[in-house]
A and B are shown apart, each in its own frame.
Chain A
Amino acid sequence: MRPLMSKRHALKAGAFVATVIASEGLTGFLTMDRHAPAFERDPDHDMERRYAQWYIPNAMWGMIIDLSKCDGCVDLAIPRCTAACQEGHFLPTSGYGPNGEIEDAQMVHEYIKVFKVQENSWSEPYFFPRPCQQCIDPPCVHVCPVAAAWQRSGDRMTLVEQERCIGCRLCMAGCPYEVRFFHWEENPRSEDPGFKEAFEMEMPFSINKQKGVVAKCDFCGNQFLGKLPHCVASCHKGALYFGNLLENAVTNNFGETLLVDETISKRNGMRWKEDEGTKPRVFYLPALKE
């Protein structure tokens, strides 16, 4: 009787099965669950990362920016929010000239930047502060080859793990808001008084002293201490509101609290580049002129 399967065929079939199993394993290795920016995800996956536990449960931090209040701080060379951010994060500022113009474009890190925008020649120009939009579906996390750009499971903050970043700058290309900044050289302000303390204590994941890695706004992380981010706390007009979107409340520098849903529907609040599908957590209230 003819054997069911010759030795050669059996070997071939075995090799095929082995290949399938191996490629399954490889795929599993490459798509390690914790790297994927999945929506519903077990928070335990990120536990080996730094700052993974630094979140408050049931929080979704967000910002509302009232464009009619922002005056662009035209009295200053650098707007207050930008300056406070750079001070708080110990960011290099040596790239600025005397009048706030950029002279060395490598040494300027504006995690929040104020633009002067004019939609068309009929409309009045207004000022547009731009922090990281903290997308719910962030492109930077998708394109990062080493998953150094990652989204924390607990409150879904997009963070950068500087110990892992290889400095390819693909996330800078992928970010539609251009809020990611490259540290071209070792942070010259890492010798500043207070740097070490801040690095260890206050808001560890937003301070960087390494060269050749990417860093960005991460809403300061002061929320654990019940504080507002530096930019929000420094705004002399109270144009920036910060808070937990799940609690439906945001607060500005003067303690004014807004209801998120009500404010957004009444004031026609919108998100920047909604068509990119990134679902930002920063809402802009259009400028109203009295």
Chain B
Amino acid sequence: MTDDITINQDEIDKSLYIRDGMPMSEEEVLRRRGEVERTFLTTSAKEIAVMSIFAALMLVGFGYYLIHQFIYGLTDTNLSQKVFWGAYITSFVFWIGVSHVGMLISAVLRMFNLKYRTPITRMAEEVTIVSLVMGAASVLIDMGRLDRAHHILVFANITSPLVWDVISITFYLTGSMIFFITPLIPDMAYYRDNLDPEKHRLRVMIYKFLAFNFKGTPEQYEHLNGKIMERLKFIILPVAFSVHTVVSWIFAVTWRPGWKSTIFGPYFIFGAVFSGTAALISLLVAFTVVYDLEDYITAKHIRSATFILIVTNLGYMYFTINEYIIGAYQSEVEEMEVLRQVLYGDQSLVFWFIIWITMAVPLIMNFYLIHFKDKKWVYIWSMVASILVNIGAWLKRWVIIIPTLRIPVISEGEDAIAPQMINGSLYPYFPSTTEIMITIAQFAFFIFFYWFLNKLIPLIPIWEVEHEWEVDGLVDGKTPQRLHEESWGQYDRSFLHGH
């Protein structure tokens, strides 16, 4: 189906994949495959050292959970009868938001047929899956009765936003798994056939399972490229939209000032894509630099992804202005009790940090990326900007959730303050050690698990990228199929074995 696409020389020149303007030799193709193979077939001592730091952080958090929270219950947190949701629910909204990058890359960019999507698809889908798991875990950690988690299926009450959440997150996780596993098949089949079964016994077993008996016939490739993905991309888009909309409805369906908002759905969606893209850019830069993947992921890819970041940043600012300025102008009493904390009260430092340092500064930084000729600066600036955005994304969820819960339910006038009020009028909340450690452990878990996943499977969809080179005329013949015709010995892969 794609065989008869012809592309003229001008378009080849514009192609992202051309380094030297020359078609690639077969050796070059194989060398590039080797670049990816090096990342997941070998693990150096240094990598193990860094991974074990994350594993240790993860275990500390898990230990805190088991020793403190699992035994004593949520009493180990600093939550109270008034501020009953805290760091865990903040993390829940954050992780579900981050997961939206998979939808963006797999569905939206695929729909618009944007080419820079191809090499970063798999990394994006991995972000989605791992962060969805973290989001679900956050809710389970926050639950008072983990032993009754099955009740939500047994006694499901369809009028509850939490049940909508369970439904849409399950759908999205399933869809993302399909988006993740389906393009994995040809690569898995290749490594099933070509790895030394003696040396990599476990790997070959896993790959054999994940290859789903793929033989590499033209019909199978046709099917993969055409039918499945073309249909899936239309299905996954509304599902992904529903996920974060429903998460926002958990707050928006209540009566509470600061949450009772009709724009929460799109507001959260923009925030989700914003933070998700930032998380992806951080990981892209880190993996590109650490594993030297510049044959696949270049400064151009980073810049293109940064463009999404700019658009969502502006969109998020627009929604933030709508949400806060209009609320302030109406100056309803209860609304103002929230806004007073956020704009110039004790949460204002967090709020203005979000606005200036994690939204305005990254926006300017990302605009300036285009001026950098040196790719080193592209990497550094986009890394800094995207990490700032990630920090801001977590804090923004905090600013949405906490100030609303801190205000008293009865407006008690200027002079009369109830004798039983804490702190005059606002109820205090700051996470306890257990909450902080568990939150840190979630981030460590995310990085560790993401890395671990990339030790199991190639982090670049090799066959898809090669297929595009082929379409662009950079490689002769049907390269993805040739993956299966070639034998392992044609190219010197001695580096894989260490020396």
**Residue positions of A touching B, CB distance < 8 A:** 27, 29-31, 35-36, 99-102, 105-106, 108-110, 113, 115-121, 125, 128, 130, 139, 142-148, 164-170, 172-174, 176-178, 181-186, 211-214, 273, 276
Contacts and interface: CB of A to CB of B under 8 A. Distances in A.
B321 interface: no
B85 interface: yes
A29 B154 CA distance: 9
A168 B162 contact: yes
B145 A165 contact: yes
A85 to B, nearest CB: 14
Contacts of A145: 152, 156-157, 160, 162-163, 166
Given A31-B159, A164-B148, A173-B85, 9 more contacts: A115-B418, A145-B152, A146-B152, A147-B155, A165-B145, A166-B143, A168-B143, A170-B160, A178-B82
B419 A116 contact: yes
B415 A105 contact: no
B49 to A, nearest CB: 39
A119 B145 contact: no
Nearest to B155: A146
Contacts of A118: 412-416
A36 B85 CA distance: 26
Given A117-B413, A169-B144, A178-B82, A146 B74 contact: no
14 contacts: A31-B158, A36-B159, A102-B420, A143-B161, A143-B253, A145-B152, A164-B151, A166-B149, A167-B148, A173-B84, A174-B255, A182-B81, A211-B73, A211-B144
B254 A30 contact: no
A105 B148 contact: no
A116 B416 contact: yes
Nearest to A184: B75
B287 interface: no
Contacts of A35: 155, 157
A249 to B, nearest CB: 29
B409 A178 contact: yes
B319 interface: no
Contacts of B155: 35, 146-148, 164
Contacts of A178: 82, 409
Contacts of A139: 254-255
Contacts of A110: 420
B171 interface: no
Given A145-B163, A167-B144, A185-B75, A116 B157 contact: no
Main secondary structure of the interface of A (DSSP, over half): loop
A98 to B, nearest CB: 13
Q: Which 10 A-B pairs have the closest CB atoms?
A: A167-B144, A212-B144, A118-B413, A105-B80, A145-B162, A145-B160, A118-B416, A184-B75, A146-B155, A30-B158
B384 interface: no
Contacts of A117: 410-413, 416
A100 B420 contact: yes
B210 interface: no
A35 B154 CA distance: 12
B333 to A, nearest CB: 11
A181 B81 contact: yes
A49 to B, nearest CB: 11
Nearest to A119: B413
A147 B158 CA distance: 9
Nearest to B85: A169
A145 to B, nearest CB: 4
A121 B159 contact: no
Interface centre among B83, B144, B148, B154 (most CB of A within 10 A): B144
Interface residues on B, range: 35 or more
B72 interface: yes
Interface string B385-418: 0000000000000000000000001111111111
Contact of B152 (A101, A108, A166, A185): A166
B285 to A, nearest CB: 37
A178 B234 CA distance: 42
Given A125-B416, A211-B73, A276 B255 contact: yes
B157 A144 contact: yes
Interface centre among A109, A117, A166 (most CB of B within 10 A): A166
A79 B417 CA distance: 16
A174 B412 contact: no
Nearest to B139: A168
Contacts of B484: none
A180 B178 CA distance: 42
Contact of A182 (B144, B162, B412, B413): B144
B250 interface: yes
A242 to B, nearest CB: 22
A106 B163 contact: no
A118 B419 CA distance: 13
A185 B72 contact: yes
B157 A109 contact: no
Interface in B167-192: none
B203 interface: no
Contact of A173 (B149, B152, B251): B251
B429 to A, nearest CB: 9
B255 A166 contact: no
Contacts of B415: 118, 121, 125
A146 B81 contact: no
B215 interface: no
A106 B414 CA distance: 27
A186 B144 CA distance: 11
Contacts of B145: 165-167, 212-213
A30 B163 contact: yes
A100 B162 CA distance: 36
Contact of B81 (A27, A105, A177): A105
B69 to A, nearest CB: 10
A147 B154 CA distance: 10
Nearest to B167: A30
Contacts of B158: 27, 30-31
B93 to A, nearest CB: 13
Nearest to A150: B157
B62 interface: no
Interface string B22-36: 000000000000000
A168 B144 contact: yes
A186 to B, nearest CB: 8
A103 to B, nearest CB: 9
A116 B254 CA distance: 25
Contacts of A142: 159-160
B422 interface: yes
Contacts of A116: 412, 416-419
B450 interface: no
Interface in B300-337: none
